Amino acid sequence: MFSPKSILVPVDLYSESHTALRYTAALSRHYRARVILHNVQDAELPPNLMTLPERLISGHDAEWLRELKRQMTTRCSDELLKGLMVEAGFSGGVPHEEILRAAHQRGSDLIVMEATARPRPRREVLGSTAEAVVASSDLPVLVVRPVQHGFVFQTPAGGQIALGRILLATEFEESDQRARSLAIDLTRQFSSRLSVLTVMERVGLLRALLPGSAAKYEETFRENAESAFRAMESQAAGLVVEKVIREGSVYQEVVRHAMERETDLIVLGTVRKGPGLLGSNAERIVRLAPCPTLLVS
């Protein structure tokens, strides 16, 4: 059963957004998990900075190090984290490598990241650090953005999780088996409604060019999908599951379905297209998703 005991959240000490922290705090309370705040700098710094007495911080970088420590201390005492077990750390190096290293060193089960779309020629992509973490992580990564339909709501008692609708986007391949299992597990834990969506690509082009082949492709696809749906039934016994087959572009249909159903969370298996590269469908879904996305390798 999915039950993280240590949740790592990379923090930008100079950002005013608390979106990732809000989700981390709510999940930590629900699962009684430790919260690990980690900040990466592009310069070497003492790994024990948080426990190092200020009188021992010396050298030409002393004031910078003291300021980092003060900023992290402030973040650790954020009202969102009140009553939680919070640890903090720093490291220097390549951001996504250091984030993943810290997650494994601290025994984390989940990474929560905030991503902001950044403009590039003719399109927008995820921030490079978030994309690199998702592409390289063997841990589940929850990606959130400030402007989204969310599933965490603040109450006087703290953040409350309201996972009414979960969307699992799947190709029923071995590579997304963990994502399927996790989506079913979360649906059961939170008494959610689960939509299982698979998408036929290229069928429109086949209909235009090779009508006979298109009909055969569609028939075979639907037969295989129905067989895969049936195979999931025992695992999802007792759950409310909507089975959906759509045709078109994968990322467009996933995003469209999430919008139509007012989905609270998209669960997606990731397949790397090369060393450290995230598949284009996964990247586009995360970038355009109207709600948080949980990516599972």
pLDDT in tens, 136-154: 999 999 999 988 898 999 8
Query: Comparing C-alpha atoms, which of 65, 99, 72, 98 is closest to residue 86?
Result: 72
Query: Comparing C-alpha atoms, which of 128, 133, 61, 59 is closest to residue 96?
Result: 133
Contact yes or no for 27/2 (Cβ under 8 A): no
- pLDDT surpassing 50 at residue 230: yes
DSSP three-state, residue 192? coil
DSSP 245: E
Take residue 27 and report the two structure tokens written for it: 């999940």
How does pLDDT run across 166-199, given as a tens digit for each residue?
Answer: 999 998 988 889 999 999 999 999 999 999 999 9
- pLDDT surpassing 70 at residue 26: yes
How does pLDDT run across 67-103, given as a tens digit for each residue?
Answer: 999 999 999 999 999 999 999 999 999 999 999 999 9
How does pLDDT run across 38-58, given as a tens digit for each residue?
Answer: 999 988 888 788 888 877 777
* Dihedral (Cα; 247, 252, 257, 258), 10-degree rounding: 160
The confidence score (pLDDT) of residue 38 equals 96
pTM of the complete model: 0.91
pLDDT band at 280 (very low <50, low <70, confident <90, very high): confident
Take residue 197 and report the two structure tokens written for it: 């969506």
pLDDT band at 210 (very low <50, low <70, confident <90, very high): low
Please name the residues in contact with 216: beta carbons below 8 A apart, sequence gap of 6 or more: none
The confidence score (pLDDT) of residue 44 equals 84
Numbered ranges of CATH 3.40.50.620 in the chain: 1-149, 163-297
- Neighbouring C-alpha atoms within 13 Å toward the C-beta of 36: 23
Average pLDDT on 227-246 reads 91
Neighbours of 30 (CB within 10 A): 17
pLDDT band at 29 (very low <50, low <70, confident <90, very high): very high
Of the listed ranges 52-61, 157-166, 215-224, 245-254, the least confidently predicted one is: 52-61
Take residue 117 and report the two structure tokens written for it: 């779309």
DSSP three-state, residue 253? helix
Region 1-149: CATH code: 3.40.50.620
* Dihedral (Cα; 150, 268, 24, 187), 10-degree rounding: 70
The confidence score (pLDDT) of residue 125 equals 46
Query: Comparing C-alpha atoms, which of 163, 147, 153, 141 is closest to residue 26?
Result: 153
| 163-297 topology per CATH | Rossmann fold (3.40.50)
Tell me the pLDDT of the chain averaged across its residues.
87
Query: Comparing C-alpha atoms, which of 161, 235, 152, 162 is closest to residue 196?
Result: 235
The confidence score (pLDDT) of residue 62 equals 85
Type of residue numbered 19: T
pLDDT band at 274 (very low <50, low <70, confident <90, very high): very low
